[in-house]
A and B are shown apart, each in its own frame.
Chain A
Amino acid sequence: MEITDRQMELFVSGFCSFVLALSGAGWLLKSFERSSFIYFSDTGGSGIIFKKRPTKDCLPPGAGADAKAHVVVVGVSCPDLILPNGGTPAGTSSPASSSSLLNRLQLDDDIDGETRDLFVTVDDPKKHVCTMETYITYRITTKSTRVEFDLPEYSVRRRYQDFDWLRNKLEESQPTHLIPPLPEKFVVKGVVDRFSEEFVETRRKALDKFLKRITDHPVLSFNEHFNVFLTAKDLNAYKRQGMALLSRVGESVKHVTGGYKLRSRPLEFAAIGDYLDTFALKLGTIDRIAQRIIKEEIEYLVELREYGPVYSTWSALEGELAEPLEGVSACIGNCSTALEELTDDMTEDFLPVLREYILYSDSMKSVLKKRDQVQAEYEAKLEAVALRKEDRPKVPADVEKCQDRMECFNADLKADMERWQSNKRQDFRQLLMGMADKNIQYYEKVMSVPARPSPLSEEARLIARESLGQGPARNPAAATPAGPCPTVRDAAPGLGAEAPVGVPTGHSRAHAAHRSGSSLLPGPLGLAASCAPESGGLQSRERAGPRGPWGLSLKASSLRLLGLPYVGSESSFYSNLRVTKEGSME
Chain B
Amino acid sequence: MEQAPPDLERQWQPAPLEPLGHADAGLQAAVGEEAEGSRDEVPGDGTEHALGLGVLMTENNFGLKKIEISVSEAEKRTGRNAMNMQETYTAYLIETRSVEHTDGQSVLTDSLWRRYSEFELLRNYLLVYYPHIVVPPLPEKRAEFVWHKLSADNMDPDFVERRRIGLENFLLRVASHPILCRDKIFYLFLTQEGNWKETVNETGFQLKADSRLKALNATFRVKNPDKRFTELKHYSDELQSVISHLLRVRARVADRLYGVYKVHGNYGRVFSEWSAIEKEMGDGLQSAGHHMDVYASSIDDILEDEEHYADQLKEYLFYAEALRAVCRKHELMQYDLEMAAQDLASKKQQCEELATGTVRTFSLKGMTTKLFGQETPEQREARIKVLEEQINEGEQQLKSKNLEGREFVKNAWADIERFKEQKNHDLKEALISYAVMQISMCKKGIQVWTNAKECFSKM
Which A residues lie at the B interface, using CB under 8 A?
275, 278-279, 282, 285-286, 289, 292-293, 296-297, 299-300, 303-304, 306-307, 310-311, 313-314, 317, 320-321, 324-325, 327-328, 331, 425, 428-429, 432-433, 436-437, 439-440, 442-444, 446-447, 551, 554-555, 558-559, 562, 564, 566, 568
Contacts and interface: CB of A to CB of B under 8 A. Distances in A.
Given A300-B257, A437-B453, A285 B246 contact: no
B457 interface: yes
Contacts of A436: 449-450, 452-453, 456
Contacts of B266: 285, 289, 292
Contacts of A551: 443
Contacts of A444: 442, 446
B428 A324 contact: yes
Interface stretch (B18-26, B237-245, B331-339): B237-245
A398 B354 CA distance: 141
A74 B445 CA distance: 57
A443 B259 contact: no
Contacts of A310: 242, 245-246, 249
Given A317-B239, A328-B435, A307 B253 contact: yes
Given A286-B270, A300-B253, A324-B431, 11 more contacts: A282-B277, A296-B256, A303-B253, A314-B243, A320-B428, A433-B453, A436-B456, A439-B445, A442-B445, A562-B431, A568-B436
B288 to A, nearest CB: 7
B438 A296 contact: no
Nearest to B450: A440
9 contacts: A307-B246, A307-B249, A317-B238, A321-B424, A331-B438, A436-B449, A440-B449, A559-B432, A562-B435
Given A293-B260, A293-B264, A447-B439, A282 B456 contact: no
Given A328-B434, A428-B459, A554-B439, A303 B246 contact: no
Contacts of B434: 328
Contacts of B424: 320-321
Interface string B275-305: 0010011001000100000000000000000
Nearest to B439: A555
Contacts of B12: none
Contacts of A314: 239, 242-243, 246
A91 B103 CA distance: 99
B256 A566 contact: no
B273 interface: yes
A289 B270 contact: yes
B345 to A, nearest CB: 40
Chain B interface size, as a band, is 35 or more
A325 B450 CA distance: 32
A433 B456 CA distance: 6
Contacts of B431: 321, 324-325, 327-328, 562, 564
A502 B168 CA distance: 65
The DSSP consensus for interface residues of chain B is helix
A282 B271 CA distance: 8
Identify the interface centre among A289, A551, A568: most chain B CB within 10 Å of its CB. A289
Given A436-B449, A562-B435, A303 B256 contact: yes
Contact of A439 (B257, B443, B449): B449
A275 B277 contact: yes
Contacts of A296: 256, 259-260, 263
Nearest to A424: B281
B281 A447 contact: no
A293 B246 contact: no
Nearest to A309: B249
B121 to A, nearest CB: 33
Contact of B263 (A292, A306, A428): A292
A307 B452 CA distance: 30
Contact of A311 (B238, B246, B280, B436): B246
B457 A289 contact: no
Contacts of A558: 435, 439
B256 to A, nearest CB: 4
Interface in B413-434: 424, 427-428, 431-432, 434
Identify the interface centre among A303, A428, A436, A554: most chain B CB within 10 Å of its CB. A436
Contact of A289 (B246, B263, B443): B263
Contacts of B435: 327-328, 331, 558-559, 562
Contacts of A307: 246, 249-250, 253
Which 6 pairs across A and B sit closest by C-beta, in order of nearness? Answer: A436-B453, A300-B256, A432-B456, A296-B259, A443-B442, A282-B274
Given A433-B457, A558-B439, A300 B281 contact: no
B89 interface: no
Contacts of A299: 256, 259
Contact of A306 (B239, B249, B257, B446): B249
B253 A317 contact: no
A297 B260 contact: yes
Contacts of A437: 449, 453
Contacts of B457: 429, 433
A425 B450 contact: no
Contacts of A559: 432, 435
Contacts of A297: 260
Contacts of B255: 303
Contacts of A275: 277
A321 B428 contact: yes
B125 interface: no
B97 interface: no
A327 B434 CA distance: 12
Contacts of B277: 275, 278-279, 282
A119 B46 CA distance: 70
Nearest to A328: B431
Nearest to B435: A558
B355 to A, nearest CB: 55
Contacts of A303: 249, 252-253, 255-256
Nearest to B295: A439
A321 B434 CA distance: 14
Contacts of A328: 431, 434-435
Given A313-B242, A433-B456, A562-B435, A285 B263 contact: no
A436 B255 CA distance: 23
A162 to B, nearest CB: 35
Identify the interface centre among B250, B255, B267: most chain A CB within 10 Å of its CB. B267
